Structure 1
Amino acid sequence: MLTSTVCAAVSAAGLGIAALTAYRRRFLAATRIAAFSLVPVGLVMTGVVDWIAGLVFKPMVWAGFGVLALSAVLFMIGRVAERHAVKAGGSRKERRAAARRQPAAVAPAASAPSLGAGAATGQPAARAKPKASAPQEDFSDIEAILKKHGI
């Protein structure tokens, strides 16, 4: 009942301001003010205000909002912890298990060119002859980057 009275007073004040604005020949602004001032009365007539007042003044409703907020905070904490665990590689046990599961290198001599020409075979570098049909490419900078990242 009190909320209905407050809404009616707000609407009456808004309509008064709209009348003053229209008196100053600002009809577009007066129309907008009148439209906004009729909203509280419309909400009272539809029963929305009583529903909102019942919602606001019940402690059980606020407890429900508190539980929902706690749930949202716990969800966010879980997401942050999950991202942190993935970024760090999981726990110590998980990292050890992952290291055990990793297969051995398929081509252990694949990084031999970074050691220098002929270092893997024990032959001097002067004897190594490139094929005339395929141009030689230098991947030493790429290999250095991969080694830097532990790959």
Structure 2
Amino acid sequence: MSELNQIFQRAQARAGEAGLPYSGAVTPAEAFALLQGLPNVRIVDVRSSAEWQWVGVVPGAELVAWREWDPLHGMQPNPHFLQQLQTRVDRENVVLFLCRSGARSHDAAALAAQHGYSEAYNILEGFEGDKDGAQHRGALNGWQAAGLPWQQG
């Protein structure tokens, strides 16, 4: 069995164990392997525009914010999320959703699966990962800590 098939099997097993409403969950390293190994894989970064600009982005990722800052009301859901996703990413693609820590991307993967994305996956740990003992992100786990390609926004 190929490495990519093994990744899909592990991702789907995680989905079954956790009762996820989408295809599966992958680690950052697994997401990168899928991205490198298959032509129809897309990463969709659902963080806010401020996070893309100030924290960084995965090169080539589709940037579709799940929530955005409203000066009057604070962070608000993006009412156009689904439409923006459908415009930028084909439903036939393997779609890997990414956020800061894996929570917003979980919600985005669930919504995508409800709307016809049959291969929707959450990237566990997210871009920055969990907080360490000093309450800082970016070193313990996640895309950055794994040493995967990213660039400052």
TM class by smaller structure: under 0.3
Give the TM-score normalised by structure 2. Answer: 0.18
Larger proportion of strand: 2
User: Greater share of helix residues, 1 or 2?
Assistant: 1
Higher RCO (CA 8 Å, separation ≥ 6 residues): 2
